[in-house]
């Protein structure tokens, strides 16, 4: 990704959600989260977007970095964490989870995507920003 700006993050968010829509269109609802994860990785890579998956999230507690066995689903271009779900009902805990990942990873944006829905754009995704996003330049 180019320079970290609000505008560039908005474009990258659009690409990530577009990739999720494409995966949902091809695969449909009803599969395991892991299937959607590997499809998302492939779709993002087809779009020339750098993505990491299932890496440890560092937990800093009182000056010590602890291994809490915490892993994110996707980290896109080292600036947007993406949490994938394949559930019948989204609960507030999922919002808190993806926001916690964003805070611990020190990234400006987080996206929560649920593939068990009829329309990813309308009901299957939520985008969050952190305080770091507010500090970024617009352009």
β-sheet bridge partners, residue 64: 61
Rounded Cα–Cα distance for residues 100 and 134 (Å): 17
Does a structural domain hold residue 112? yes
Please give the residue that has the higher pLDDT: either 67 or 78: 78
* 120, 85 contact by CB (below 8 A): no
Q: Work out the percent of the chain whose per-residue pLDDT is above 70.
A: 99
Q: Chain-centre distance of CA 27, in angstroms? A: 19
DSSP state letter for 57 = P
Residue 134 has pLDDT above 90, yes or no: yes
| Domain assignment of residue 122, given as a range | 6-135
Residue 1 has pLDDT above 70, yes or no: no
Does a structural domain hold residue 37? yes
Q: Is the pTM for the entire model greater than 0.85? A: yes
Does a structural domain hold residue 72? yes
Using DSSP bridges, classify how beta strands 125-129 and 109-114 pair: parallel, antiparallel or unpaired.
antiparallel
Query: 89 vs 86, 123, 132, CA distance in Å?
Result: 9, 11, 29
Does a structural domain hold residue 56? yes
Number of domains in the chain: 1
pLDDT value at position 118? 92
pLDDT value at position 67? 87
- What average pLDDT score do residues 16-39 get? 97
Residue 100 has pLDDT above 70, yes or no: yes
Query: 136 vs 6, 23, 75, 82, 126, CA distance in Å?
Result: 6, 30, 19, 20, 20
Does a structural domain hold residue 1? no
């Amino acid at each position: 990704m180019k320079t970290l700006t609000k505008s560039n993050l908005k474009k990258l968010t659009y690409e990530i959600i577009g990739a999720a829509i494409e995966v949902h269109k091809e695969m449909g609802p009803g599969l395991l989260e892991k299937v959607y994860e590997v499809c998302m990785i492939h779709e993002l890579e087809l779009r020339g977007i750098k993505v990491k998956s299932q890496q440890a999230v560092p937990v800093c507690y009182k000056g010590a970095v602890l291994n809490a066995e915490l892993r994110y689903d996707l980290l896109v271009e080292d600036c947007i964490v993406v949490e994938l779900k394949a559930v019948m009902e989204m609960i507030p805990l999922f919002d808190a989870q993806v926001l916690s990942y964003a805070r611990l990873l020190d990234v400006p944006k987080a996206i929560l995507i649920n593939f068990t829905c009829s329309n990813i754009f309308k009901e299957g995704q939520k985008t969050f920003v952190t305080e770091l996003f507010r500090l970024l330049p617009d352009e």
